[in-house]
């Protein structure tokens, strides 16, 4: 049944992306003639043999850790495509809840559960397509072929490693890659974040208060860039001794691609990320974690310049459904079961240094 599923999912996501008639957002050609590249990600729902594309995103950037000092929830920190795609999915789920509660229509994704929360409808599975292997441990063999690993002292045991350092070290937590001279980010690699989702699910802290945990079933990757050894080590081997419940990711691969903006030696990474929610046809272009053109150096954007998937906007999208909280941090810590699972999973994975807090006060409703 899954023999051709990876190709079918990839084709569906790429077809949806290629059909977008947007004036900006997709990688382009710079004034010096250099073409841009970016990673494409898409999340799809699978039910009764039908593939429904839910959201698309592109992106390869992550903000430095110090940005959190003044973000106050207005800046999207991690702009790698697959992480943006999961944020878009969380936004879409809130749309689905509003649809149900309005009584105007039923949701094709969610239904009420016996726990008084919502849940993913029975029979629906989710797959995440990524045009490149996720950065970090799941792509070490693929990246090491470039032979551009940074030099430096060997890290001590349990110390986090920056993305492109020490290709010989496997099964460890890494931060997002970037130039060796770039300001460091503590945002963990996509491999590590996706591995964590096998424990916690893909819901953010807001939606976890409204919806029962939702898990990915499949990760869809290009066959000529896929390493089964890396995948099994990243998503299975290093967590094999865990006593926590694991919802394992199953890899699916595809051969043929119609995505035009893949990475190559002559292209440069696009600074922009394209966001698109398929059912509502909501689109946005973000640069430096805010709406294109809204970036202010060393300051948060004006509220009108924030992305609709930043922490502030996602909270505002759901606040009428939530009990009162005094701060975002209080909201985040309120789901005790989720916080306990996260803490245990981080211990299993090893060093997981905390990024600077990005909290903000919430008005009492």
> pLDDT tens digits, residue range 17-72?
999 998 889 999 999 999 999 999 999 999 999 999 999 999 999 999 999 999 99
Tell which residue, 25, 68, 24, 1, has the closest CA to residue 353.
Answer: 68
Closest CA to 284 of 302, 305, 303, 270: 305
Cα separation values, 301 from 57, 117, 247, 259, 307, Å: 21, 34, 38, 32, 10
Q: Are 273 and 286 in contact (CB under 8 A)?
A: yes
What is the structure's pLDDT at 154?
45
Report pLDDT digits (tens) over 72-115: 999 999 999 999 999 999 999 999 999 999 887 789 999 999 98
Cα separation, 4 vs 245, in Å, equals: 29
Alpha-carbon distances, residue 46 vs 16, 128, 132, 141, 292 (angstroms): 16, 11, 22, 30, 33
Residues with Cβ within 8 Å of residue 178, at least 6 apart in sequence: 62, 162, 163, 164, 184, 185
Evaluate if pTM is beyond 0.85: yes
- Both structure tokens of 87: 């944020």
The tokens for 263 are: 């990475």
The mean pLDDT value of the chain amounts to 90
Among all residues, which ones are annotated catalytic?
82
Instruction: Give the bridge partners for 272, in sequence order.
Output: 287
Tell whether the model's pLDDT for residue 324 goes beyond 70: yes
């Amino acid at each position: 049944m899954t023999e051709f599923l990876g190709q079918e999912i990839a084709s569906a996501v790429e077809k949806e992306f290629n059909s977008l008639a947007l004036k900006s957002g997709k990688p382009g050609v710079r004034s010096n003639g250099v073409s841009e590249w970016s990673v494409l990600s898409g999340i799809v729902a699978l039910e009764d043999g039908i593939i429904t594309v839910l959201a698309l995103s592109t992106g390869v950037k992550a903000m430095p850790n110090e940005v959190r000092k003044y973000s106050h929830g207005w800046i999207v920190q991690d702009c790698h495509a697959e992480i943006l795609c999961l944020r878009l999915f969380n936004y879409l789920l809130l749309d689905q809840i509003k649809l149900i509660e309005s009584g105007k229509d039923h949701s094709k994704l969610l239904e009420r559960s016996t726990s008084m929360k919502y849940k993913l409808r029975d029979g629906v599975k989710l797959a995440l397509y990524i045009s490149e292997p996720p950065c970090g441990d799941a792509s070490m063999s693929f990246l090491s072929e470039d032979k551009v690993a940074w030099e430096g002292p060997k890290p001590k045991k349990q110390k986090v490693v920056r993305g492109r350092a020490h290709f010989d070290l496997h099964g460890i937590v890494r931060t997002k890659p970037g130039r060796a001279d770039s300001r460091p980010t503590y945002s963990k690699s996509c491999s590590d974040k996706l591995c964590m989702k096998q424990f916690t699910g893909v819901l953010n802290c807001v939606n976890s208060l409204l919806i029962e945990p939702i898990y990915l079933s499949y990760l869809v990757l290009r066959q000529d860039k896929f390493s089964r050894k890396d995948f099994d080590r990243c998503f299975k081997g290093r967590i094999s001794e865990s006593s926590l419940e694991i919802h394992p990711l199953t890899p699916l691969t595809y051969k043929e691609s119609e995505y035009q903006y893949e990475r190559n030696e002559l292209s440069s990474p696009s600074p922009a990320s394209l966001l698109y929610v398929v059912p509502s046809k909501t689109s946005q272009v973000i640069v430096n974690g805010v709406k294109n053109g809204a970036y202010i150096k060393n300051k948060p954007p004006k509220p009108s310049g924030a992305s609709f998937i930043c922490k502030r906007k996602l909270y505002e999208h759901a606040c009428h459904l939530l009990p009162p909280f005094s701060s975002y941090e209080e909201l985040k810590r309120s789901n005790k079961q989720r916080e306990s699972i996260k803490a245990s999973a981080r211990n299993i994975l090893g060093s997981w240094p905390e990024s600077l807090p990005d909290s903000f006060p919430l008005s009492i409703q």
